[in-house]
Chain A
Amino acid sequence: MASSSSPAHADSHPAHLQHHFVSSEQQFDAAKMGMWLFLVTEILLFAGMFVAYTVYRVWYPEVFVQSSTLLNPWLGGLNTLVLLGSSFTVALSIHFIQNDNRKGLIINLALTMAAAIAFLVVKYFEYTHKFHLGVFPGEHYSYSEVAGPYVAQFFSIYYIMTGIHGLHVIIGIGLFIWLTVRATKGHFSSAWYTPVELVGLYWHIVDIIWIFLFPLLYLI
């Protein structure tokens, strides 16, 4: 809890307390609950794509096995490690600000951001390589080595799922920039670090979704 550790603040109406809340604790609880609900909607958004994946996989299992050989599991694995590492650094950044270590917070936010950018760079090389071969989604698919009915569906699903996941990574980078700017201005302390915690939650979800995408698309 952000505020319960510093009762002195709650009594003297700290600057971060919005007028319609009674206490910092109420404000923090509300923000955290709102974030969790938002993450539920994110999972449901991806659930639609997972259902599409499942349906086509059940119908055409051998096509999916054949198509997934085009994906490079080493690059996917590298990206998995990068994201897992970034989840660790974002957790560390929350730990540091809880102990009023602003420098630790800023360093770990920067590390997380670097990992997110590294993820996108790897993704960029994967995408451009496939575009080069002619592996496009749907009706634009033109790669003759791996062809046949429904191969294009696999890559439609691949591009949509990884594309929307990548969009979440980009949004995450924007949020980390915003946090870093605020952190350097000294907006956060152990008394109030709600945005850091909420962005951290968001980043964990981005990580978890990738952990499902990686084996489903690259490995099995």
Chain B
Amino acid sequence: MELHDVWFVIIAVLWIGYFFLEGFDFGVGILTKLLARDRAEKRVLINTIGPVWDGNEVWLLTAGGATFAAFPEWYATLFSGFYLPLLIILVCLIVRGVAFEYRAKRPEENWQRNWEQAIFWTSLVPALLWGVAFGNIVRGVKIDADMEYVGGFWDLLNPYALLGGLVTLTLFTFHGAVFASLKTVGDIRERARALAFKLGLVTAVLALGFLIWTQVHTGDGGSLVAMLVAAVALVGAIGAIRAGREGWSFALSGVTIAAAVAMLFLALFPDVMPSSLDPEWSLTVTNASSSPYTLKIMTWCAAIATPLVLLYQSWTYWVFRKRIGTQHIADAH
């Protein structure tokens, strides 16, 4: 296994980490509208992700930085090509971060309601667009001999990619509902569980359609295995939430995300961004990667830093392991 293959795996892992973690906080953001009955419940939901959403988002920044360093051509083609969707995602992430931090900084109800609206939309839109983006990456887009994206904005909105977007949207919302049932107490927990079950069924239909489509289109043996794992885990997660086993359900919905993302990357390999115009023009792990020296240095950095990151991020989840409910929300805000 050469270093650029290792880095392909690392980047896949970073995206898995990102979708696993920010997946549930996007989901919780969406649920502020679907699940919370009153403003106190909204605040319970927001506070379940309060201490961790920022750390979750860094997985994206790391995936971006790692792509820049390990596969500069991929980074350049992807972000200059998917210009407008990326712009929308960035705007959402900016507003979302500010919304979390500023919502409670003023007591006026209008102020808080506006930020709550912002949290809902800025969670929903990226959750949808990431799926669209990955759908397009896996399916292949119009890339010319100079590795430049020559398609337009509307080329990105094809049925396969849009289905991918619906899958990430529903899957993250399901994942978020399971997380909410795991982190809350009282009435909201019961309703989170019931809603998670329904969301799970919708997710299952969409996800199976998308994954099978992917398998038929670009799959191989490895991606088939990952697909089966994702499918089994998703069914398990739905069953577990039905049975009231929230911890198990969350673990399994996490496995679903991990296996589904892994499947996309397996279907992609050894390309990183296939060209739909001519396979010769596809970006691959070899022609898009950095020099072996850079990859070596980065490998050392990742080998030392990653375990530490996992250690202190896990510790955060441990510190804030307690469930919260409306009784923990002070009346002041």
- Report if A and B associate in a common complex: no
